[in-house]
């Protein structure tokens, strides 16, 4: 853990050890945020820390499971102890999924996914909101399945549908305290994880995406920077698809 006396505002990014979360953490650090890098995987979290400090910025790691209430409480204590400042930005990004039909999906896998993706988002939000100052922001990372059912992704789809409503209900509750809550729903994004989903992930999803490419973690990080800009100060309770138009496509019998 790196000690700092920096006065930079504090941002927490969950699941920042890889993929989209890592890029969001790196980009926030470049924008002079002091980033708290959370991940369940200590090695990966430290790689993100190294990347941030290597580029001359400051950050700290807190390894922990967002689905574990003790880990979440310890994260907020560690942040306070580390720099005595209250976080101003929370990115709820950590997520897992099980590819299984409803017949095959084990209850334990369902519980792990709901616990990580939805309960984790709730407990992080609850702890953050206790001290977050006016002008703070929460961004939940959702998915196209906030609104659409993805085949054989039962637990994940249910959790992201929950994130949609958690975004809206926490925006209603926290608005009077000056805390905005929004959601970003990425389309098909190039990460190490998605590259393993199919042999031709990029080709398959580029063909289905109106902008004819898959997205990058930087596309998602760009949306985070838009939502935390002062120009977005009247936007709350919203989900923004960062998907190249993918989730605007209706099921249709012919190519167009």
Ligand X SMILES: NC(=O)c1ccc[n+]([C@@H]2O[C@H](COP(=O)([O-])OP(=O)(O)OC[C@H]3O[C@@H](n4cnc5c(N)ncnc54)[C@H](O)[C@@H]3O)[C@@H](O)[C@H]2O)c1
Q: Which residues bind ligand X (CB under 6 A)?
A: 14-15, 17-21, 38-41, 44, 65-67, 93-96, 116, 141, 143, 186, 188-189, 191, 193-194
Minimum CB–partner distance for residue 77 and ligand X (Å): 17
Please tell me which residue in 76, 110, 156, 201 is annotated as part of the active site. Answer: 156
How many angstroms separate the CA atoms of 144 and 227, rounded? Answer: 18
- Which tokens is 67 given? 């689905």
CB of 238 to ligand X, least distance (A): 16
Residue of minimal Cβ distance to ligand X: 19
Element (H, E) at 37: strand 34-39
**Residue number, 40 or 228, with CB nearest to ligand X:** 40
Give the shortest CB-4-to-ligand X separation in angstroms: 22
**Closer residue to ligand X (CB): 58 or 239:** 239
Of 161, 224, 186, which Cα lies nearest the Cα of 194? 186
CA distances from 60 to 24, 120, 158 (A): 15, 20, 32
Q: Residue 141, CB half-sphere, CA atoms under 13 Å: how many?
A: 28
Q: How far is the CB of 43 from ligand X (least distance, A)?
A: 10
**Dihedral Cα 89, 195, 49, 181, nearest 10 deg:** 0
The radius of gyration of the chain from alpha carbons, rounded to an integer in Å, stands at: 18
**Neighbouring C-beta atoms of residue 55, cutoff 10 Å:** 10
The alpha carbon dihedral of 223, 228, 231, 234 has a sign of: positive
Query: Is 156 among the residues known to form the active site?
Result: yes
Q: Which residues contact 143 (CB under 8 A, 6 or more apart)?
A: 150, 156, 160, 185, 186
Q: In this structure, what token pair is assigned to residue 150?
A: 């993805």
The smaller minimum CB distance to ligand X, of residues 136 and 209, is found at: 209
Nearer to ligand X, 93 or 239 (CB): 93
- Residue closer to ligand X by CB (options 14, 136) is 14
Q: How far is the CB of 140 from ligand X (least distance, A)?
A: 8
Structure token digits, residue 225 = 């920077």
Q: Which residues are catalytic?
A: 156
């Amino acid at each position: 853990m790196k000690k700092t006396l920096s006065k930079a505002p504090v941002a927490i990014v969950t699941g920042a050890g890889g993929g989209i979360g890592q890029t969001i953490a790196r980009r926030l650090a470049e924008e002079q945020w002091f980033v708290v890098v959370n991940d369940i995987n200590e090695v990966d979290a430290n790689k993100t820390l190294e990347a941030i400090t290597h580029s001359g910025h400051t950050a700290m790691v807190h390894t922990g499971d967002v689905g574990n209430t003790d880990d979440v409480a310890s994260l907020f204590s560690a942040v306070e102890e580390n720099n005595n400042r209250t976080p101003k930005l929370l990115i709820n990004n950590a997520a897992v999924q099980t590819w299984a039909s409803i017949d095959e999906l084990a209850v334990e896998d369902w519980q792990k996914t709901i616990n990580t993706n939805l309960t984790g988002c709730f407990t992080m939000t609850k702890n953050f909101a206790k001290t977050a100052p006016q002008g703070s922001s929460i961004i939940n990372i959702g998915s196209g399945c906030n609104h659409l059912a993805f085949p054989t992704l039962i637990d994940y789809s249910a959790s992201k549908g929950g994130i949609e409503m958690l975004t809206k209900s926490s925006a209603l509750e926290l608005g009077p305290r000056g805390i905005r809550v929004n959601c970003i729903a990425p389309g098909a994004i190039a990460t190490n994880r998605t590259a393993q989903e199919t042999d031709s992930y990029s080709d398959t999803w580029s063909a289905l995406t109106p902008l004819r490419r898959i997205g990058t973690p930087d596309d998602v990080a760009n949306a985070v920077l838009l939502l935390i800009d002062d120009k977005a100060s009247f936007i709350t309770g919203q989900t923004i698809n960062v998907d190249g138009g993918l989730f605007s496509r209706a099921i249709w019998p012919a190519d167009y």
